Amino acid sequence: MNRIINDIEKEYLRDDRPQFDIGDLVDVHVRIVEGEKERIQIFSGTVIARKGSGMRETFTVRRMVQGEGVERVFPVNAPSVADIKVRRRAKVRRSKLYFLRGRRGKSARLKERRGHSASGSAQA
């Protein structure tokens, strides 16, 4: 059963996605259609969760906007997500960084993981 669904999802998966992990600071290039025109909007923030698999995989990006926390959930393989750029990688010990929601300022910082290129080609 699942094999058939996997095969179908495979056709729609995008192979141009960089490797990115929980805690990474990313720029998500979102395709926005306004009437006839299409433009790219960048949403940058910390990846605090990745869930699901295959075509149903999503990731949550959190950022602070004027002192207010904003979170957006993107499907990893959606065409509306034009590109994902990894700006900074972080050392984290859990897969869901929901504890960041209760924090702000200094306590919401993550330890940077160095020695990896930030271009997105680094290993997990």
Partner 1 sequence: MLTSLLGKKIGMTQVTDGQGRVVPVTVLQAGPCEVLQVKTSQRDGYEAVQLGFDEKKAKNTTRPLEGHFAAAGVAPKRFVREVPGDGAEHEPSEAVTVEIFNDVHFVDVIGTSKGKGFAGVMKRWGFAGHKATHGASGKRVLGSIGMSAWPSRVLRGKKMPGQMGNRRVMVKGLEVIKVDRERNLLLVKGAVPGHNGSYVQIKRSVERRKARNKRH
Contacting residues toward partner 1, per CB under 8 A:
1-2, 4-5, 7-9, 11-12, 31, 33, 54-56, 75, 77-80
Task: Identify whether the C-beta of residue 27 lies closer than 8 Å to the C-beta of residue 46.
Answer: no
Minimum distance from residue 102 beta carbon to partner 1 (Å): 31
* Minimum CB distance to partner 1 smaller for 11 or for 34: 11
CA distance 22 to 48: 6
Phi and psi (nearest 5°) for 108? -95, 15
Task: Identify whether the C-beta of residue 75 lies closer than 8 Å to the C-beta of residue 57.
Answer: yes
Q: Cα 119 to chain center, whole Å?
A: 14
Minimum distance from residue 95 beta carbon to partner 1 (Å): 22
* Minimum CB distance to partner 1 smaller for 18 or for 54: 54
* Minimum CB distance to partner 1 smaller for 69 or for 75: 75
